[in-house]
A and B are shown apart, each in its own frame.
Chain A
Amino acid sequence: MANSTARSFLQVAVTEEVASPLRVVQIEGLVILKIIKHCKEFSPALVTGQLLGLDVGSVLEVTNCFPFPVREEDEEVEADGANYQLEMMRCLREVNVDNNTVGWYQSTLLGSYQTVELIETFMNYQLFPNLDKVVFLDDDIVIQRDLSPLWEIDLGGKVNGAVETCKGEDEWVMSKRFRNYFNFSHPLIAKNLDPDECAWAYGMNIFDLRAWRKKNIREAYHAWLKEENIKRCVCVIYDPSKSNQGVLALKALKLSDSFMELYRNNNFTGEKLREKNLSWVDIFEEIPIKVSNSALISAFMTELEADTPVTQCDYDRLQLSTNPFLEKNVEFLIECMDDLSMEQQKFQYYYRNLSRQQAQQQAWLQKRR
């Protein structure tokens, strides 16, 4: 079964490759308010959260979001965080909120968001080392006997072996089919998968990585990720400090396609960069934001709007103090310059070493002749 789905995944990935590029991010007013509330409450600490919505052609609709708890270093807490995320998605789905992840939001301080971490979060996907076979056990499995026969099972050219979850007595465990796991409201999924297909337990799995490689699943998976997550992943950045000046400092970013390709292949050589004509300005692409509100909300807002001619926003905007911003900007500039000069020193050092080694090599070759 894994075999057949894998093929259809691959086919789908190939046929759906030509997707229209992302042009607009359409955000609901609700989401804006939620982001602002979360970022502001924790300011100056930086916080993040998840964006939920729908991907419709060249428009990415962000219709809801939820905050992540403030991260702590503890590992247990981290696992807790993952649970939190799943739980929240499940709960929101129950009240009919779109539960496709379309990206995340984060707060920033005075515009200092362009970091390596941001790029890494964007590119958090890579698949496994040089193994031929993998036995995968979930962390809640209790092992009662020797598992080596598992390793010996011949999968007959198939990729994945696991226990099906629809042919047994237990009504709860044995009732899981594709419809329980996949989001069939997504047209791509509804078109290609059968909701009644038997699902499998992920507690204990065997993977034959040779067959895996033969079937190009990785490419299919990447194509899917590209389709589903990476390509369509936006990061909405909100700057609470700037908003105190009466500007709605909201930005939607994504990584540019050419940068993503280089990053994925780890091709950061001078030639490649030149070939693609890539420089620092091309790493992020800013996508225009559109705001939409339901007619109901619009009606409420019109009704509830205070009728004073001056709003809080005007007060904030007309403030004269700009010095803290200047100061911070100079600070950032100096920091970057320091980094840069460090890097340049390293670079020069490398080149000096390189030329020395080359000279030595030449000398050695001469001697051997």
Chain B
Amino acid sequence: MASSDQTVLQFTPSSTSFSAKVHPLVIFNICDCYVRRPDQAERVIGTLLGSVLPDGTVDIRNSYAVPHNESSDQVALDIDYHQNMLSSHQKVNPKEVIVGWFSTGFGVSGGSALIHDFYSREVRNPVHLTIDTEFKSEEASVKGFVSVSLSLEDQQLAAQFQEIPLDLRMVEAERVGFDILKTTTVDKLPNDLEGMEASMERLLALIDDVYNYVDDVVEGHVAPDNNIGRCIANSVASIPKLSPQAFDKLVNDSQQDQLLLLYLSSITRTQLSLAEKLNTAAQIL
């Protein structure tokens, strides 16, 4: 569209198309704000905080809701509140700056351009994140947009929201465990051993899968795939080759260290309670 000589209608060259990374906390917070929204409000709007990584990816790490009033054709944002909250957040973490704004609902709506305009004054190229809390499309849709302005020579005509790819990988959430975050109530946090058990089970299941696959390939049930083969070879090779005796010795040694520590601490404890008993006896006398 913009290639002919007499360009009249053009997109101002936006910064190279970038992507955004959304941390799970942001989604959690937005959902919580939505649940707690005022009676008459249909959606919640708020500010996204984070940073821009060196490669241009926007790292969205935090968010807060901003109260707003919405009628058919205008949106009033509580700017004071926004500023207060921003300065509070910056006291805790000065590295987090405004990177955009969020709104619940499916995709971009009429008032979005106005709000986007406001945030464009705060930061260059804000990201607009929409979260479909009503599940209109019957799936959880989280979308990110940047605005590209459409101009006729010098005159600005419109702003177009262009969808950008979002990275929703949730490393932190994985660390916490989806089992805890996914269900509505968890009665008890898993302790060390239970967690270990679950991990071991999953590991064993994976090893079984690999076994079956290799067997199938050897027997000719499945067409061999060189890539998978290489991956398996790599992971097998990444384990140093140890003789069973050496491995036993390693495990036993570390276990002995731990037992020693356990012994030491229980001796200390015994010593302490003995001393306590003796002292109280001395006091009574």
Contacts and interface: CB of A to CB of B under 8 A. Distances in A.
Interface of A: 28-30, 32-34, 36-38, 41, 64, 67-70, 80, 84, 87-88, 91, 94-97, 243, 246-248, 250, 270-271, 274, 279, 288-306, 309-314, 316-318, 322-323, 326, 329-330, 333, 337, 340, 344, 347
Contacts of B195: 246-248, 313, 317
Given A29-B180, A34-B29, A270-B280, 17 more contacts: A33-B25, A33-B28, A33-B172, A64-B32, A94-B67, A95-B33, A290-B186, A292-B186, A294-B35, A294-B184, A297-B28, A301-B173, A305-B178, A310-B206, A313-B176, A316-B175, A318-B199
Given A270-B283, A333-B268, A300 B31 contact: yes
Given A29-B28, A36-B172, A292 B185 contact: yes
A304 B132 CA distance: 13
B172 A37 contact: yes
B88 A88 contact: yes
Given A69-B91, A84-B88, A298 B177 contact: no
A44 B89 CA distance: 20
B241 interface: no
Contact of A313 (B133, B174, B184, B283): B174
Interface stretch (B11-19, B121-129, B216-224, B254-262): B254-262
Contact of B88 (A91, A248, A296): A91
B61 interface: yes
A189 B206 CA distance: 57
**Residue of A248, A270, A304, A305 contacting most chain B CB atoms (<10 Å):** A304
A322 B258 contact: yes
Nearest to B140: A303
Contacts of B276: 279
24 contacts: A29-B181, A32-B180, A33-B172, A37-B61, A67-B93, A68-B92, A69-B91, A248-B180, A270-B280, A290-B185, A292-B186, A296-B35, A300-B27, A300-B131, A305-B178, A311-B178, A312-B175, A313-B175, A313-B195, A317-B195, A326-B257, A333-B261, A337-B268, A347-B279
Contact of A310 (B28, B62, B202): B202
Interface of B: 23-25, 27-29, 31-38, 61-62, 64-65, 67, 81, 84-85, 88, 91-93, 131, 133, 135, 139-140, 142, 168-178, 180-192, 195-196, 199, 202-203, 205-206, 254, 257-258, 261, 264-265, 268, 272-273, 275-276, 279-280, 283
B186 A314 contact: no
Contacts of A80: 91
Contacts of B65: 95
A91 B85 contact: yes
Contacts of B135: 299
Nearest to A322: B254
Contacts of A296: 31, 34-35, 133
A83 to B, nearest CB: 10
A304 B140 contact: yes
A123 B126 CA distance: 46
Contacts of B29: 30, 34
A30 B258 contact: no
A246 B198 CA distance: 11
A296 B35 CA distance: 8
A340 B133 CA distance: 57
Nearest to B257: A326
A330 B31 CA distance: 44
The 8 closest A-B pairs by CB, nearest first: A303-B140, A312-B174, A311-B174, A96-B36, A291-B186, A33-B25, A30-B28, A69-B91
A91 B80 CA distance: 10
A91 B23 CA distance: 23
Q: Which applies to chain A's interface (DSSP): helix, strand, loop or mixed?
A: helix
Contacts of B280: 270, 274
Contacts of A37: 23, 25, 61-62, 172
Given A64-B32, A87-B88, A306-B170, A298 B184 contact: yes
A35 B202 CA distance: 28
Nearest to A269: B283
A64 B36 CA distance: 12
Contact of B142 (A32, A304, A317): A304
A283 B117 CA distance: 56
B279 A91 contact: no
Contacts of A311: 174, 177-178
Contacts of A88: 88
A15 to B, nearest CB: 32
Contacts of A91: 81, 84-85, 88
Contacts of A288: 188
Contacts of B258: 322, 326
Given A28-B32, A30-B28, A297-B28, A314 B203 contact: yes
Nearest to A40: B172
Nearest to A38: B92
A291 B276 CA distance: 40
Nearest to A303: B140
Contact of A69 (B92, B189, B279): B92
Contacts of B191: 247
B198 to A, nearest CB: 8
Contact of B188 (A270, A290, A298): A290
A298 B178 CA distance: 10
B27 A304 contact: yes
A301 B186 contact: no
A317 B273 CA distance: 35
